[in-house]
């Protein structure tokens, strides 16, 4: 992919290209956005542009890659010796100090064949405290001809000392989020079922089943999508160590993307519960997130504003619990049983 592919991210891409054209590219960047997959594509494209053999130029400086030369192809296939990646390990789902030290050791060496060395840390918010502190020294004194790129869908979890040393570009979608058809169908199903329930335990477990089925669908989609773009699909015959490394990276990427999409689904539910709360306060429809989704007004007539507010707090607590190693189904079960409908 080249920068011209990212039509919807014009502002962030234009800022990068303007810096490239002026020869003022920063040494360290934080790319934040909605999906790691998208952020990785942007980081990979920047690495290609810095090292492209036939780049698109503006004012004599490379501002985009050709996406066809040998260097671009190596970077795309993750086989370029001067482009280095770090991702969370599959079991612990963190980036360890050993990974960070290895990455920093590689970036300190002179380029083997490229103009610039590039180090990319995917899911940088998963740096454990020791790794984050070890990384700070390199951020403060980056090697010449090197670019460090941190990627995160949750930048608020990064250390402030790291945030302050990076140029930050946000590639999230702009404007109020609209429900896509699948989201709208699921929320209508959940809302309608919640509105029809009284206080039966069986009813709550029906709601839990609707939620767990949706999460299973999301995990299946993530598995299929990320496996399709993994180097494992492109290169069948590789050394055992490299294959194991790619397998670990794929497992970590799948887990990270699934957790992000799970958080999005629960946030969607939290926005709908906010509508329940607004209805309980007899607020105007212009403040509602989803005025056309049924169920919120019906539930608001059965519960008090205080109970509606407690629902929002319960969802926030559930989200925080799911950032730990708690069992997913158990955390969701406890959270749903606490909700007032």
Could you read off the pLDDT of 256-283 as tens digits, one per residue?
A: 788 888 888 998 898 899 889 888 887 5
The SS3 assignment for 68 reads coil
User: Could you give the CA distance from residue 20 to residue 148 in angstroms, rounded to a whole number?
Assistant: 15
**pLDDT higher than threshold 70 for residue 9:** no
Q: Which domains does the chain have, with CATH numbers?
A: 3-170 (3.40.50.300), 181-338 (no CATH)
Tell me the C-alpha distance between 163 and 183, whole Å: 33
Residue-wise pLDDT tens digits, 142-165:
888 899 999 998 888 888 888 888
Evaluate if residue 249 carries a pLDDT over 60. yes
Give residue 225's pLDDT band: very low, low, confident or very high (50, 70, 90). confident
Q: What is the pLDDT of residues 166-206, one digit of tens each?
A: 888 888 754 445 678 888 899 999 999 999 865 678 888 89
Q: What is the mean pLDDT of residues 317-333?
A: 87
Token couple for 282 = 């007899």
Whether 228 has a pLDDT exceeding 70, the answer reads yes
Helix axes 201-229, 181-196, angle to 10 degrees: 170
pLDDT of residue 176: 47
Separation between Cα atoms, residue 74 and residue 99, nearest integer Å: 22
Across the strands, what pairs with 207? none
3-state secondary structure of 82: coil
In total, the chain counts a number of residues equal to 341
pLDDT of residue 30: 92
> Given this model, what pLDDT does residue 211 score?
95
pLDDT (mean) for 119-138: 89
State yes or no: pLDDT of 214 exceeds 90: yes
User: Strands across the sheet with 167-170, in order?
Assistant: 83-86, 117-121, 146-152, 28-32, 167-170
pLDDT at 175: 41
Q: In which band, very low, low, confident or very high, does the pLDDT at 54 lie, cut at 50, 70 and 90?
A: very high
pLDDT band at 243 (very low <50, low <70, confident <90, very high): confident
335 has a pLDDT exceeding 70: yes
Question: Which structure tokens are listed for 294?
Answer: 């049924």
CB-based contact 296:279 (threshold 8 Å): yes
> pTM here?
0.60
Output the pLDDT for position 216.
95
- 123 — alpha (psi -120 to 50), left (phi > 0) or beta? left
Phi, psi (rounded to 5 degrees) for 127: -60, 125
- What's the rounded Cα separation, in Å, for the pair 246 and 251? 9
How many CA atoms, within 13 angstroms, populate the side-chain half-sphere of residue 147?
24
Q: Average pLDDT, whole number, for the chain? A: 86
Please give the pLDDT value at position 92: 64
- DSSP assignment of 17-46 equals HHHHHHT---SEEEEE-S-HHHHHHHHHHH
- For residue 174, the model assigns a pLDDT of 43
What is the rounded CA–CA span in Å between residue 154 and residue 211? 23
Give the Å distances, CA to CA, from 200 to 205, 298, 337, 340. Answer: 9, 17, 10, 12
pLDDT digits (tens, 9 = 90+) for 313-324: 898 889 888 877
* DSSP code, position 235: -
* pLDDT computed for residue 90 by the predictor: 54
């Amino acid at each position: 992919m080249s920068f011209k592919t990212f039509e919807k991210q014009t502002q962030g891409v234009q800022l990068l290209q303007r810096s490239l054209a002026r020869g003022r590219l920063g040494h360290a960047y934080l790319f934040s956005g909605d999906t790691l997959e998208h952020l990785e594509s942007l980081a990979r494209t920047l690495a290609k542009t810095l090292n492209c053999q036939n780049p698109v130029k503006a004012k004599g400086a490379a501002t985009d890659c050709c996406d066809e030369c040998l260097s671009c192809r190596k970077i795309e296939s993750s086989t370029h010796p001067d482009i280095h990646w770090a991702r969370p390990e599959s079991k612990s789902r963190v980036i360890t100090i050993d990974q960070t030290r290895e990455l920093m050791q590689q970036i300190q060496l002179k380029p083997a064949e490229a103009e610039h060395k590039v180090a990319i840390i995917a899911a940088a918010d998963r740096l454990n405290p020791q790794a984050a502190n070890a990384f700070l020294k390199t951020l403060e004194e980056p090697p010449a001809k090197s670019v460090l790129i941190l990627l995160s869908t949750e930048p608020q979890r990064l250390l402030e000392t790291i945030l302050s040393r990076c140029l930050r570009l946000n590639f999230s979608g702009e404007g109020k989020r609209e429900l896509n058809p699948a989201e709208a169908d699921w929320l209508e199903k959940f809302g309608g079922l919640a509105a029809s329930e009284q206080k039966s335990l069986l009813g709550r477990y029906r709601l839990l089943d609707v939620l767990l089925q949706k999460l299973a669908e999301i995990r299946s989609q993530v598995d299929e999508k990320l496996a399709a773009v993994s180097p494992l699909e492109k290169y069948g015959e590789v050394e055992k160590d490299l294959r194991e490394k790619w397998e670990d990276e794929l497992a970590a990427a799948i887990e990270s993307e699934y957790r992000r999409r799970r958080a999005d689904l629960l946030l969607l539910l939290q926005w709908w519960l906010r509508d329940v709360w607004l209805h309980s306060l007899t607020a105007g429809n212009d403040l509602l997130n989803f005025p056309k989704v049924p169920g919120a007004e019906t539930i608001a007539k059965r519960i008090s504003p205080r109970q509606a507010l407690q629902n929002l707090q319960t969802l926030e607590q559930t989200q925080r619990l799911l950032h730990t190693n708690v069992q997913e189904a158990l955390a969701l079960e406890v959270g749903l049983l606490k909700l007032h409908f």
